């Protein structure tokens, strides 16, 4: 019992410091700003989707695009790495592609950049992308 | 009004300009050239969910989107 203060006091002090840090606007503001940026990115993406792509996005957080050069079908899933799935005529994954805008853009921006790139400069963007082909999955 | 939308870490930054104002158009063209020089890809909206890449400044494009240079992940 006599040792209780040795444990209790540091724990109380730690709790006070953690509470103060969590209440600090710089910490709260950072995550809130990031959340707002992510929401803004998804709003931009939604505004640039076709009506069909918007329906797919609302239902499943993914949408399909047709490559401008090959006519191949791709499914772009919410994510920022290996999230572009190339599909065969039955809808099965045959390859996964990874490319994105450089710099720290938000997820919605990455997805929109991937859509526009595949729809307007497919061969060019796939030439710089990393890929995994079917046997890996 | 025309809008230039630049993707960035805040989601995007928007610049509006009046196509009938020569000063505003010149400013928008300067921004276009600077962003292109920095490696951004420019695409103008052509319809609901459709777009096309543009190489030169188009003051008549309702919305021009600037995408940072693409890299393999």
* Residue A26 confidence (pLDDT): 55
* Residue A28 confidence (pLDDT): 59
* Residue A114 confidence (pLDDT): 98
Could you say which of B49, B65, B71 has the minimum Cβ distance to residue A99?
Answer: B71
CA distance A31 to A43: 18
What's B34's domain CATH number?
3.10.20
CA distance A85 to A118: 12
CB distance B62 to A89 below 8 Å? no
* Residue A27 confidence (pLDDT): 57
Report which secondary-structure segment, H or E, holds B8. strand B2-8
Is residue B45 situated within a structural domain? yes
* Residue A18 confidence (pLDDT): 72
Task: Specify the number of domains making up chain B.
Answer: 1
Model pTM score: 0.85
* Residue A22 confidence (pLDDT): 63
* Residue A9 confidence (pLDDT): 74
3-state SS assignment for residue B2: strand
Cα distances (angstroms) measured from residue A32 to each of A18, A107, A110, B17: 19, 16, 20, 30
CB distance A73 to A66 below 8 Å? yes
Cα distances (angstroms) measured from residue A57 to each of A12, B6, B25, B45: 47, 23, 35, 19
* Residue A3 confidence (pLDDT): 66
Name every residue in A having a CB less than 8 A away from some CB of B: 33, 36-41, 43-44, 48-51, 53-54, 80-82, 98-106, 108-109, 112-113, 116-117, 119-121, 125, 128-130
Nearest CA in chain A to B8: A105
CB distance A77 to A85 below 8 Å? yes
Is A99 close to B72, i.e. CB distance below 8 A?
yes
CB contacts of A37 in chain B (<8 Å) are 9-11
Nearest CA in chain B to A48: B49
Residues in chain B where the model's pLDDT stays below 70 = none
CA distance A82 to A87: 14
3-state SS assignment for residue B53: strand
Domain containing residue B41: 2-67
CA distance A26 to A22: 9
Which pLDDT tens digits describe chain A residue by residue (137 residues)?
566 676 777 777 787 777 766 666 555 567 899 999 999 999 999 999 999 999 999 999 999 999 999 999 999 999 988 999 999 999 999 999 999 999 989 999 999 999 999 999 999 999 999 999 876 55
- Of A76, A78, A121, the C-alpha closest to A97 is A76
């Amino acid at each position: 019992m006599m040792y209780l203060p040795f444990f209790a006091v540091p724990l109380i002090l730690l709790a006070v410091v953690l509470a103060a840090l969590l209440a600090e606007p710089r910490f709260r503001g950072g995550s809130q700003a990031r959340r707002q940026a992510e929401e803004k990115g998804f709003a931009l993406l939604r505004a640039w989707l076709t009506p069909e792509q918007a329906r797919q996005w609302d239902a499943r957080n993914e949408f399909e695009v047709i490559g401008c050069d090959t006519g191949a079908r791709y499914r772009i899933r919410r994510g920022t790495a290996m999230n572009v799935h190339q599909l065969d005529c039955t809808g099965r994954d045959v390859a996964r592609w990874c490319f994105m805008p450089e710099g720290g853009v938000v997820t919605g921006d990455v997805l929109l950049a991937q859509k526009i790139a595949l729809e307007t400069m497919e061969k060019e963007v796939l030439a710089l992308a990393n890929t995994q082909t079917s046997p890996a999955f | 009004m025309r809008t230039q939308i630049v993707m960035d870490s805040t989601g995007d930054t928007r610049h509006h300009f009046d196509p009938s104002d020569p000063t505003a158009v010149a400013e928008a063209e300067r921004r276009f050239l600077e962003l292109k020089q920095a490696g951004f890809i420019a695409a103008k909206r052509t319809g609901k969910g459709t777009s096309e890449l543009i190489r030169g400044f188009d003051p008549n494009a309702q919305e021009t989107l600037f995408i940072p240079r693409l890299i393999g992940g």
